[in-house]
Amino acid sequence: MNNKIILKTSVILTIFLIVNTSIVLAIEYNLEYDANGNLIQGKDKYFEYNNFNQLFRVREDNQNGNILEEYFYDHEENRVLKKVYESGQLTQEIYYIDKNFIQIVNSTGTFNEVYYYDDSGLIAENGTDSRLKAYHSDHLGSTSLITNETGNVTELTEYEPYGSVIEGGNSRFTY
């Protein structure tokens, strides 16, 4: 017989928006974690993990909700596939061929993203729009600036002293 013990820890996260010293909005989220510290429920989503503590499924609301995303890993624990669902229907598959190449398949076609690295990390991306983006890092290695193929700034990210994004940071890669 296979007995499974589940230990849950609940946390309440409260976010306040203060304008002119008055609280105008307060949002409270119930967050639940498993014994390994993995977030299993929060913000209207339910998260499932495999035996290696890797996220493998995200559902709406609870453990019986519609599947929103599924993740698949290889024998070396690298993510190789992400499936995205809307209203229970598969809408997108993202294949992680290696760290330099991602292929996205959806209803409008197949799109490739290619990433370029040097010893310090990510330096450029050729995205699904076939336009080259150059990543410029700060002294800590965090992406602070992204430029296009003509050298124009397309994104500027500013950080607090401990790394939280103050402004910008719309790119997938801000580290």
Read off the pLDDT of residues 111-140 as tens digits, 9 standing for 90 and up.
888 988 888 888 898 887 878 999 888 888
Indicate the range of 27-31, 45-49, 87-91, 100-104 predicted with least confidence.
Answer: 27-31
Of 46, 71, 79, the C-alpha closest to 61 is 46
What is the domain partition of the chain in residue ranges?
107-175
pLDDT value at residue 34:
92
pTM for this predicted structure: 0.66
Rounded to whole angstroms, the Cα distance separating 69 from 26 reads 29
pLDDT value at residue 24:
62
Read off the pLDDT of residues 65-122 as tens digits, 9 standing for 90 and up.
999 999 999 999 999 999 999 999 999 999 999 888 889 999 888 888 898 888 888 8
Q: Under a CB-based contact definition with an 8 Å cutoff, are residues 128 and 104 in contact?
A: yes
Q: Under a CB-based contact definition with an 8 Å cutoff, are residues 115 and 123 in contact?
A: no
Cβ burial of 85 (10 Å; 0-12, 13-18, 19+) is: middle
- Chain center to CA of 48: 15
